[in-house]
A = this chain, B = another copy of it.
Amino acid sequence: MKVPPVKGTRDFYPPDMALRNYLIDGWKAASLRNGFAEYDGPIFEYLKMFQIKSGDEIAEQLFSLKDRGGRDLAIRPEITPTLARMVNQQINSLPRPIKWFSVPRLCRAERPQKGRLREFFQWNIDIIGIDDVLADAEVIFTTVDYLRQLGLTSEDVKVKISSRKLLAAVLVEIGAGEDELDSLYVLLDKKPKLPPDVFAKLLAEKVPDSAKADKIQDFMAIQKVSDLKNTVADKGNVENAVNEMAMLVHKLNLMGVGEYCQFDPSIVRGLAYYTGIVFEVHAVDSELRAICGGGRYDNLLKDFGGPRISGTGMGMGDCVLEVLLREKGLLEEKLPKRQLDYFVAFIDEPLTFETKDGLDTIEDVAVMLAAQLRLKHKSAAFSYKSGLSKQLKEASSQNAKKCIIIGAEYENRDIAIKDMATGQQEIVNVEKFMEGLKS
């Protein structure tokens, strides 16, 4: 019986797995050197966990299931609710700041398309318990540190940064009511995806006062933090938000990643829970969706029954990233090759050798030596085929660094070791050789 895979999922054959590991191992390495500790939660949680804060879009895309007791569960579409649950459970014993990362497998029942699958991996980093904008800077820095490690330059990708606080303060200053903000965010979020005239028309419908609409357009056109002070009222909440943004830019410059970052007031972020700095990374001159997004949240822990402790974080999926790296030609040469320390081959003669236990065939000797190498934690292979030339081909295809060749000289416990890069070959005593290996 032949059953196909489910659409929107991926089979990871060894070459695909090598790519997945390359991305995820890179996420892990960047997280660790930036001081984040790894966590993970279960692949499913109670369904209601994902209905508390997730945007409507995510809540609609849940893969839900029931356990045998009839309780409603769902496969996680994101790990943030789990993070909130776990932090709240141990809030009094966890040392702060909580600097955690995770690389969860997530599932969303969406229509599969380029850069969007029903099952994917997502890098998450969060710093919880630090109000200072320095924590936002550290999250953005860690993101850039990883992208830079992949070979992406500031010509390839930009971190577009804005602030919910600034946006709110400016809109209120212009005359918007607090209750109008959420619907204005939804509109402003669409600006980069719409032709200017379409956006202007939608804005006019929402904000009939053309003087106010113009002010919003002026604000949305600002490209430098230093221009903010000339455009928006420099007082109260606006001043605080502008100063915070200026401090963030200062920290990012200090950390050496300023060239990757730019102020962009059109960054709003769909999720309702961001309350401060928000950012997205976009490929320059590309139709691709955002590579990642993040920002500061004040109410996450509280929404999940915990205290009101602020955090800031980032999430990056593997699908868009892979498309971008492929477009930029940054995958083939960077992917680590499969490596083998030793391939153990034998010549085309049916030799046997006396041992204390009886007679070993030449094939047996190859198996024995490969096993000894592995027990010393060297990677080693033997062949299930005979014929030296076939075996040497196999050694090459497995990218072996050295090939051990067993021949008649094994009578004296000598083996030939061939360096596969230089082709040079030397004869050594097998016991001495094995003793010389570091375990």
Q: Are B256 and A371 in contact (CB under 8 A)?
A: yes
Cα A42 to Cα B106 in complex, Å, equals: 11
Does A207 sit within 8 A of B, measured CB to CB? no
Chain B residues, CB < 8 A from A237: none
CB < 8 Å neighbour of A3 from B18, B49, B64, B65: B49
Chain B residues, CB < 8 A from A186: none
Chain B residues, CB < 8 A from A142: 374
* Nearest opposing residue in chain B for A343, CB measure: B35
Interface range for A? 35 or more
* Nearest opposing residue in chain B for A394, CB measure: B95
CB < 8 Å neighbour of A13 from B4, B18, B86, B107: B86
Cα A390 to Cα B368 in complex, Å, equals: 55
Q: Are B367 and A251 in contact (CB under 8 A)?
A: yes
Q: Are B39 and A14 in contact (CB under 8 A)?
A: yes
**Given A17-B39, A254-B368, residue A305 in contact with residue B1 (CB < 8 A):** yes
**Complex copy number for this chain:** 2
Does A191 sit within 8 A of B, measured CB to CB? no
Q: Are A86 and B35 in contact (CB under 8 A)?
A: no
Q: Are A374 and B34 in contact (CB under 8 A)?
A: yes
Chain B residues, CB < 8 A from A85: 2-3, 5, 11
In chain A between 259 and 307, which residues have their CB closer than 8 angstroms to a CB of chain B?
303-306
Q: Are B141 and A371 in contact (CB under 8 A)?
A: yes
Binds B, one of A219-227, A308-316, A376-384, A421-429: A376-384
Q: Are B68 and A65 in contact (CB under 8 A)?
A: no
Cα A3 to Cα B68 in complex, Å, equals: 19
Q: Mostly helix, strand, loop or mixed at chain A's interface? A: mixed
Within the complex, the shortest CB–CB distance from A112 to chain B, in Å, comes to 11
Q: Are A67 and B13 in contact (CB under 8 A)?
A: no
Does A410 sit within 8 A of B, measured CB to CB? no
Does A357 sit within 8 A of B, measured CB to CB? yes
* Nearest opposing residue in chain B for A397, CB measure: B95
Within the complex, the shortest CB–CB distance from A101 to chain B, in Å, comes to 10
Does A75 sit within 8 A of B, measured CB to CB? yes
In chain A between 180 and 236, which residues have their CB closer than 8 angstroms to a CB of chain B?
none
Chain B residues, CB < 8 A from A379: 32-35
In chain A between 89 and 104, which residues have their CB closer than 8 angstroms to a CB of chain B?
89-90, 95, 97, 100
Within the complex, the shortest CB–CB distance from A8 to chain B, in Å, comes to 9
**Given A6-B67, A37-B338, A48-B3, residue A42 in contact with residue B377 (CB < 8 A):** no
Q: Are B17 and A305 in contact (CB under 8 A)?
A: no
In chain A between 1 and 60, which residues have their CB closer than 8 angstroms to a CB of chain B?
1-6, 9-14, 17-18, 20-21, 29, 32-35, 37-46, 48-49, 52
Does A88 sit within 8 A of B, measured CB to CB? yes
Chain B residues, CB < 8 A from A374: 33-34, 141-142, 145
Does A135 sit within 8 A of B, measured CB to CB? yes
Q: Are A130 and B384 in contact (CB under 8 A)?
A: yes
Q: Are B145 and A13 in contact (CB under 8 A)?
A: no
Q: Are A14 and B381 in contact (CB under 8 A)?
A: no
**Given A13-B90, A38-B17, A48-B3, residue A367 in contact with residue B105 (CB < 8 A):** no
* Nearest opposing residue in chain B for A95, CB measure: B397
In chain A between 123 and 168, which residues have their CB closer than 8 angstroms to a CB of chain B?
130, 132, 134-135, 137, 141-142, 145, 148-149
A–B Cβ pairs within 8 angstroms, 7 of them: A2-B305, A2-B306, A3-B85, A9-B41, A34-B374, A43-B105, A254-B364
Give the B-binding residues of A (Cβ under 8 A). Answer: 1-6, 9-14, 17-18, 20-21, 29, 32-35, 37-46, 48-49, 52, 63-65, 67-68, 71, 73, 75, 82, 85-86, 88-90, 95, 97, 100, 105, 107, 109, 119, 130, 132, 134-135, 137, 141-142, 145, 148-149, 251, 253-257, 303-306, 338, 340-341, 357, 360, 364, 367-368, 371-372, 374-375, 377-381, 384, 397-398
Interface contacts beyond A14-B100, A43-B119: sample of 9 additional A-B pairs, CB < 8 Å, sorted by A = A9-B42, A9-B44, A11-B86, A12-B40, A17-B38, A37-B338, A42-B119, A251-B367, A255-B371
